[in-house]
Structure 1
Amino acid sequence: MRFLPALLGVLYFGIVFSAKSQQVDFVKGVVFEIENDQPLPGANVYWESEPQKGVVTDINGEFTIESIEFPAKLVISFIGFKESVRIISVKDLEKPLKFYLKPDELSLEEIIIRDRAPDQNVKSLDMGKSSIPIETIKNIPALFGEVDLLRSLQLLPGVQTAGEGTTGLFVRGGSADQNLVQLDGAPIYNPSHFFGFFSVFNPDALQGVEFYKGTIPANYGGRISSLIDVSLREGNYQKIKGEGGIGTISSRLTVDGPLFSDQSSFTVSGRRTYADAFLRLSPNENINNNDLYFFDLSGKFTFKLGEKDKLSISSYYGSDFLGLERQFGLGWNNWITSALWNRNISDKSFFDLNIYHSKYKYLVNFDDEDNGFRWDNVLSETGAKAQWSFLPSENTIFQWGFHTQLYHFAPINLLPSSNSSIEPTNTNPRNGLQNNLFISASTDVNSKLRIETGLRWSFYNQVGKGVTYIYRGGVPEPDAVILDSLSFGRFENMEFYQGLEPRFSFRYLLKDDLSIKGGFNRNYQYVQVASNSSAGLPIDRWIPAGTYIPPIRGDQVSLGIFKNIARNKWELSLEGYYKDFKNIIDLRQGASVLFTDNVETEILVGNGYAYGLEFLLKKNIGKTTGWLSYTFSRTWRKVDGISDNNWYNPRFDRPHDVTLVLNHEFSKRWSANLTFVYTTGQAVTFPIGSYEVDTQRLPLYGSQRNADRFPDYHRMDASVTWRNTDKGRKWRGSWNFSIYNLYGRKNPFAYQFTEIVNDQIDFDPGSGEEVFSRRPGVVMTYLFTYIPAITYNFQF
């Protein structure tokens, strides 16, 4: 392998650097909430004598601060908690410090939405990055009362949705498969339940989420549009606690606590719908014989192996099933397992090792004597990622490492029933081996300018077992003649690609509360979805790069201005971006990709670009909090063979997007939340006429793709929450009352261009009724109007 010498060099560099960094120049520690023993991100840590040199705890509640002359007073503060001051001596530095903050009952009159420093919006390098606190996500009104992580991200600027109720994300002109969604470092290939109406993430089980849509750090890669990095919650090390909820269509329960001692903990979470139970109550046999449910289970086990080592093992399993009258069944599931080892080599150097396996499987079964079949498929990714971090000074950090990924896309099997007239189908497997090296550095050039540079180098091999077809003329087309086929053995190289992925970003402070940020980001993506649906379906076919399908390359340039107002009470930002796409795939008109072994004959490759401007005004402090955002964006594609070889918009091109999110605390017991969304209608292709076949009139479509649009989409949701705030009780509960689509807007989900017979859209030609009129018509389908929901949440 040509990447091996470079990999050995990185490993040697890491070992040498670690050996040279044993001197103690920093103080390390962790900040916890005393009530639940959970890490407290965003807490301020500073020496009483030098408050200007303070730091902020990270998502794990950890901090590293430069040492001063001892003994010295170290101060830990966080709004909503009592300040902690401790005298630190040299003897205390023998092991990491632990701080436990108590809630300050007197400070609860103000509500703070943040898990970071109050001026981080201006002073950090982060651009196009969002961290939504889990408590904020839980307060947002939700469909059927089901709090949802991915639907909450749709409320951020630069993020579009596939349509009514779905959790699919389209970020800055990218398609849904261009988002890397990972849980504790393991990718999730279908992060949704109920055909995209709910995500797989139970909010009670989550520690946090970081969302990157701008400059993605060099230690992440594999997707060209965004990174959604989700982490499961660590368990309480002191006592067993739990929380959950009983909702309109599902219930959930999460329990955590010490495992064997105060050096280990567990978190176990489960959730299940009971829509199938309601179906059983129906007197209609066409309904009570149906099945419709999803469930998910997750667990995280954490072990402190000493003062320097921590091991976490996470697992998630989620499953969906739809069954109609015991004749048709569609099911799919995700199963991921991840292990993460963190080692503090010294006060200046750290090592992280993540090993994971992610598997996605679906099954379609049709029980019919003449046309019955069973169709299943499996895809998986197995990987290992090692990362070293070195902090030579308080404001400088180096990171480097490697990431190895093995993709396996199993053969697609269509097995007919014994008496079925359907022909069996079996495709060849597709496999890929990807190796990545990365290195980055971040430092302050001076008091105003901070920069970060990074480089990721990806090597991709399409490997056997597999088959490559040779076409006449060398171009795969639907009617091309196959001249020959080449068979490859296990792990035998079939095709090779590689690419350098540079990253650069900067922040320049104009004032203490005003900064300019910019960046450049290049990513390669070696696996993508070939699908006719923009919303994402459980049966979507993932395609790895190969002989006829090159990897996608995405370049993004972004620039923004960030301002904090009234002592960080308000945040204001304006970001612009331009993205360039190379080797984007799209399907030929009428393409069928599900069962063919020659999928390259149904795919066309082209280029694209996107640009946009994102405005965000956010209020963090006070009884009323929330944000207002506006996005103007355009997305274009050009693929020879589509739309007369002209530029066209993909379905998720929506020029205007407005979002309003408000939360108001009336008292400690009562609060209310409201969201409003408005977007331009999605781009679609309407028929230009009709034609008749066997007395049936069918729509006729033109050559231009997505030249029409749905009507504009808008909706308002609202909720009210009542809480039991008695801190002395072991059991605390709250009631949430919500209404989805408050004013009953009938947003179109689909249009059907058909023939209206006898002025009836559902006329049955076989009914024997006399036909006295026929006319062309358009039938609009919408999913939801008013949807009230009630949820009881509890903690113990």
Structure 2
Amino acid sequence: MPQVKRLFLPYTNQFKGETVIHSKEICFMKFLFAWASVFLFLLASTNPAFSQNPENISGQVFEMDSNLPLPGANIYWESEPQKGVVSDENGRFLIGKTGLPSKLVVSFIGFTVSIRVISEKDLGKELRFFLKAEELSLEEIIIRDRRPDENVKSLDMGKTTIPIETIKNIPALFGEVDLLRSLQLLPGVQTAGEGTTGLFVRGGSADQNLIQLDGAPVYNPSHFFGFFSVFNPDALSGVEFYKGNIPANYGGRISSLIDVSLREGNYEKIKGEGGIGTISSRLTLDGPLFSDKSSFVFSGRRTYADLFLRLSSDPNIKNNDLYFYDLSGKFSFKVGDKDKISISSYFGSDFLGLSGQFGLGWNNWVSSAQWTRNISERTYFDLNVYHSKYKYAVNFDDADNGFRWDNVLSESGARAEWGFVPNEKTELKWGMHTQYYHFAPINFVPDPGASIEPINTNARNGLQNNFFVSGSRDISQRLKVDAGLRWGIYQQVGKGIEYRYEGNQPGPNVSITDSLSFGTLESMKTYQGFEPRLSVRYLIREDLSFKASYNRNFQYVQVASNSSAGLPIDRWVPAGTYIEPVRGDQYSVGLFKNLNQNKWELSLEGYYKDFKNVIDLRQGANVLFTDNVETELLAGVGYAYGLEALLRKNIGKTTGWLAYTYSRTWRKIEGISEGDWYRPRFDRPHDVTLVLNHEFSKRWSSALTFVYTTGQAVTFPIGTYEVDNQSLPLYGNKRNEDRFPDYHRMDASVTWKNVDRGRKWKGSWNFSIYNLYGRKNPFSYQFGDIINEQIDFDPGLNEEVLSRRPGVVMTYLFTFLPAITYNFKF
């Protein structure tokens, strides 16, 4: 386990922050009118009169070893390679016919090419192509899951797809491979601090990210207070990260979408993989379930930090508990040639117990079911039903102040989506998404005989219906457009109570004049909003493109917390009478260039975001135990802007990327920082990331990461005042005017693996070092008196006070931290 180490420094004005002079100049484009015009054109272009070739060849591309759909495959006629198409996320494609018979070529980097002669008898059939993975030589190591020119030719802006194998190669804290910490290495993503998995994307807070697993939201995606994410990489098939241009079929958060998918089991034979690490071990099994038409996958992971605690001779350590575990499973069924059904579930739990006197535990339980049907060669249907539940509980065993405190929140929903591909140049999607939020009453029950009072609150519930439609169209060989519209209707519903305040303005010192009771599902407050989406790609050359996009999102649930890192007890609050939904508008433009036959990718993206009704806490607010949380919150506006540069190498013995981000974010809320613009804690202007992977031989490989970022914005004291002969820090009215020192760190790892000689068991060893050069990055600062030159002077020991001076105590978590992990497959 990490040791908390502290240094003390002179209490001077060395931490005083910079003076910021800024102005806000906004030039809004009329994107809504542009979206409407483009969308009407897309609808008109689906008319058969616009299709020059009404007869098409349809099919689906699969990976042979796993039988999984292969998105991004290239399909073209051998005689007309310039008129090719690309398979969608489900491996489907539709290509206009040419003179038959003719050879159809299906290819994907890292796989063998499939060539089939197509004749008239194949018209109207659903063709299937199975591509086999090539044995990659040392000279040609390729980051797959992306077609070679996708960076330039796709419509995606602010979207990143990271292969799971790439994530596994990145050096990790305690050797524990982590999905969310890998995303922190991308441009435009900031962190909460040392060791945490919280993400702050393009000026948004951590709760403004929609993190979902097989379509179900995950409300607390971390273990160990944010040091590890809940996602076991062995159980995942992939992750898609959107920090701009979120598709219209998803919504509910204003900053980003992290779409994580559990992998399907193998349909042919039983396989397994896992690892034994410094802090945890994991095991995954998959294979056919009943026949080659069904499969399963089970995955489990557990830490054993609590076992090491038992070895201590100190009873204050020996009697403590500290662990987490997670379990996940997925069943997949192929029902005929057109239908597929999958059922998945995840459960994860954490517990911290101190000598039987204090206990804190929390868990996630996420389940979903999905039905996919190919209605015809041009139309498909997807149905996703889910339930996500998050619970935490705190126990304190004390004769005078003992209590039990627990809370539950959940979301249930169903999403239905239809897709129609009238021709190879046009694709349409539409559907609806229904969500029900339940935030249970806080349950705070004192122990018998305790002197504290119980706390009673009321449940808060929300019902949301969303309707969406989107379409993409190749206007010409150079110009491609995607437009979408999402309409959300949100209601705060009973069973619940609504308080009325004097002057209709809630506040900590405002009297409650009345309260209204509402029955189950009775409407209390309604909000609705249109969320247009628009993106354009113009191909300047075959290897250079310009892209622009506009995105509007509404968020109807958010976190009320004074911790930017995210805690298990953070309180989620839904929109209601006094808390309006947050609105975010993002404008972005970018240039995308590929070099040296697609071996290198270069991109430059700029963005501007505008926030409305964003909330923050009053000074000294208490939101955990109040039924009147609206009295502790203030709302206002904000904006963020930035420039992101990314250079990425995909092919060769050395792969990786170099990223730089310049970004700023500001808030303005009446009642905070004297009503002036102020910086949230995650405003960190400069961010540099380097990720390198190198293959020395078939046995040896290495990885290295380096991160540098501006220190987070904080508030330092402006002076001191005396209370009971003790000097205490005095804080001003301005918020986050100062900064921590800049943060930087280097991690490295080396992997040795057995040569593949056809054996079933394949093993490898990974040796990693976190914080290679031992940088003492600050986790927190504490301002107060340093007595007798001791950081932890205890006046209860009746020691004589020989000296007293003001000082600063810096706490840091990790310096040089090695780890070792054994990974295996069979």
TM-score normalized by structure 2? 0.92
Q: Are 1:385 and 2:415 counterparts?
A: yes
Q: In the alignment, what sits opposite 1:546?
A: 576
Q: In the alignment, what sits opposite 2:676?
A: 646
Offset from partner CA, 1:611-639 (integer Å, 9 cap, x none) = 00000111111111111010000000000
Q: Which of 226, 229, 235 pairs up with 2:256?
A: 226
Match of 1:204, SS?
A: helix
Q: Which of 500, 523, 530 pairs up with 1:470?
A: 500
Q: In the alignment, what sits opposite 2:200?
A: 170
Q: Which of 25, 29, 43 pairs up with 2:56?
A: 25
**Bigger shift: residues 725-734 or 671-680:** 725-734
Residue type at the aligned position of 1:625: T
**Bigger shift: residues 225-234 or 719-728:** 719-728
Q: Which of 342, 350, 360 pairs up with 1:330?
A: 360
Residue type at the aligned position of 1:610: A
Do 2:420 and 2:429's aligned partners in 1 also have CA atoms closer than 8 Å?
yes
Do 1:433 and 1:461's aligned partners in 2 also have CA atoms closer than 8 Å?
yes
Q: 1:31, CA displacement in angstroms?
A: 1.7
Q: Are 1:529 and 2:559 counterparts?
A: yes
Do 1:32 and 1:61's aligned partners in 2 also have CA atoms closer than 8 Å?
no
Q: In the alignment, what sits opposite 2:777?
A: 747
Distance 1:754 1:328 in 2: 28
Q: 1:339, CA displacement in angstroms?
A: 0.6
Do 1:141 and 1:675's aligned partners in 2 also have CA atoms closer than 8 Å?
yes
Q: In the alignment, what sits opposite 2:342?
A: 312
Q: In the alignment, what sits opposite 2:609?
A: 579
Match of 1:131, SS?
A: strand
Q: Which of 229, 248, 251 pairs up with 1:199?
A: 229
Residue type at the aligned position of 2:438: H
Q: Are 1:321 and 2:351 counterparts?
A: yes
Which consecutive residues of structure 1, in runs of 5 or more, have no partner in the other structure?
1-12
Match of 1:584, SS?
A: strand
Q: 1:37, CA displacement in angstroms?
A: 4.1
Residue type at the aligned position of 2:152: V
Q: In the alignment, what sits opposite 1:5?
A: none
Q: 1:62, CA displacement in angstroms?
A: 4.2
Q: In the alignment, what sits opposite 2:648?
A: 618
Q: 1:93, CA displacement in angstroms?
A: 6.2
Distance 2:86 2:662 in 1: 34
Q: In the alignment, what sits opposite 2:34?
A: none
Do 1:31 and 1:62's aligned partners in 2 also have CA atoms closer than 8 Å?
no
Match of 2:619, SS?
A: coil
Q: 1:26, CA displacement in angstroms?
A: 3.0
Q: In the alignment, what sits opposite 1:633?
A: 663
Do 1:255 and 1:268's aligned partners in 2 also have CA atoms closer than 8 Å?
yes
Do 2:58 and 2:92's aligned partners in 1 also have CA atoms closer than 8 Å?
no
Q: Which of 751, 758, 762 pairs up with 2:792?
A: 762
Distance 2:746 2:88 in 1: 34
Distance 1:351 1:727 in 2: 44
Distance 2:237 2:591 in 1: 30
Q: In the alignment, what sits opposite 2:724?
A: 694
Q: In the alignment, what sits opposite 1:559?
A: 589
Q: In the alignment, what sits opposite 1:256?
A: 286
Offset from partner CA, 1:172-205 (integer Å, 9 cap, x none) = 0000000000000000000010000111111111
Offset from partner CA, 1:503-545 (integer Å, 9 cap, x none) = 1110001111111000111000000000000000000000100
Alignment of 1:381-780 (within 5 A): 381-780=411-810
Residue type at the aligned position of 2:60: G
Distance 1:38 1:218 in 2: 25
Q: 1:59, CA displacement in angstroms?
A: 4.4
Match of 2:115, SS?
A: strand
Q: Identity over aligned residues, as a percent?
A: 76
Offset from partner CA, 1:641-667 (integer Å, 9 cap, x none) = 000000000000000000000111111
Residue type at the aligned position of 1:539: I
Distance 2:123 2:806 in 1: 80
Distance 2:239 2:308 in 1: 34
Q: 1:419, CA displacement in angstroms?
A: 1.3
Q: Which runs of 4+ in 1 moved over 6 A?
A: none
Do 1:684 and 1:710's aligned partners in 2 also have CA atoms closer than 8 Å?
yes
Do 2:124 and 2:377's aligned partners in 1 also have CA atoms closer than 8 Å?
no
Distance 1:161 1:691 in 2: 34
Q: Are 1:345 and 2:408 counterparts?
A: no
Q: 1:497, CA displacement in angstroms?
A: 0.5
**Bigger shift: residues 764-773 or 583-592:** 764-773
Q: Are 1:358 and 2:382 counterparts?
A: no
Offset from partner CA, 1:260-297 (integer Å, 9 cap, x none) = 11111111111110111111111111111011100001
Q: In the alignment, what sits opposite 1:100?
A: 130
Distance 1:64 1:274 in 2: 51
Q: Are 1:282 and 2:312 counterparts?
A: yes
Distance 1:59 1:349 in 2: 14
Distance 2:149 2:83 in 1: 14
Q: 1:244 to 1:64 in 2, by over 3 A?
A: farther
Residue type at the aligned position of 2:371: W
Q: 1:51, CA displacement in angstroms?
A: 2.2
Match of 1:122, SS?
A: helix
Distance 1:133 1:776 in 2: 51
Residue type at the aligned position of 2:423: S
Do 2:492 and 2:576's aligned partners in 1 also have CA atoms closer than 8 Å?
yes
Q: 1:406, CA displacement in angstroms?
A: 0.3
Alignment of 1:48-63 (within 5 A): 48-63=78-93
Q: In the alignment, what sits opposite 2:5?
A: none
Distance 2:106 2:482 in 1: 28
Match of 2:180, SS?
A: helix
Distance 1:637 1:742 in 2: 36
Offset from partner CA, 1:658-686 (integer Å, 9 cap, x none) = 00001111112111100000000000001
Do 2:560 and 2:616's aligned partners in 1 also have CA atoms closer than 8 Å?
yes
Match of 1:702, SS?
A: coil
Q: 1:762 to 1:106 in 2, by over 3 A?
A: closer
Q: In the alignment, what sits opposite 1:300?
A: 330
Do 1:80 and 1:107's aligned partners in 2 also have CA atoms closer than 8 Å?
no
Q: Which of 185, 210, 216 pairs up with 2:246?
A: 216
Q: 1:109, CA displacement in angstroms?
A: 2.6
Distance 2:601 2:94 in 1: 27
Bigger RCO of structures 1 and 2 (CA < 8 A, at least 6 apart): 2
Match of 1:390, SS?
A: strand
Q: In the alignment, what sits opposite 2:10?
A: none
Match of 2:308, SS?
A: helix
Do 1:30 and 1:96's aligned partners in 2 also have CA atoms closer than 8 Å?
no
Do 1:371 and 1:420's aligned partners in 2 also have CA atoms closer than 8 Å?
yes
Offset from partner CA, 1:702-761 (integer Å, 9 cap, x none) = 000000000000000001111223141101111111000000000000001121111101
Q: In the alignment, what sits opposite 2:95?
A: 65
Do 2:746 and 2:770's aligned partners in 1 also have CA atoms closer than 8 Å?
yes
Distance 2:211 2:96 in 1: 35
TM-score normalized by structure 1? 0.96
Do 2:668 and 2:677's aligned partners in 1 also have CA atoms closer than 8 Å?
yes
Do 1:79 and 1:107's aligned partners in 2 also have CA atoms closer than 8 Å?
no
Offset from partner CA, 1:327-358 (integer Å, 9 cap, x none) = 10000000011011101111111111111000
Offset from partner CA, 1:232-287 (integer Å, 9 cap, x none) = 10111111111111111001111111111111111111111011111111111111
How big is the alpha-carbon RMSD for the aligned residues of Structure 1 and Structure 2?
1.7
Match of 2:210, SS?
A: strand
Offset from partner CA, 1:593-624 (integer Å, 9 cap, x none) = 00000100000010000000000111111111
Offset from partner CA, 1:62-110 (integer Å, 9 cap, x none) = 4443344444333233333332323344555676444333343364531
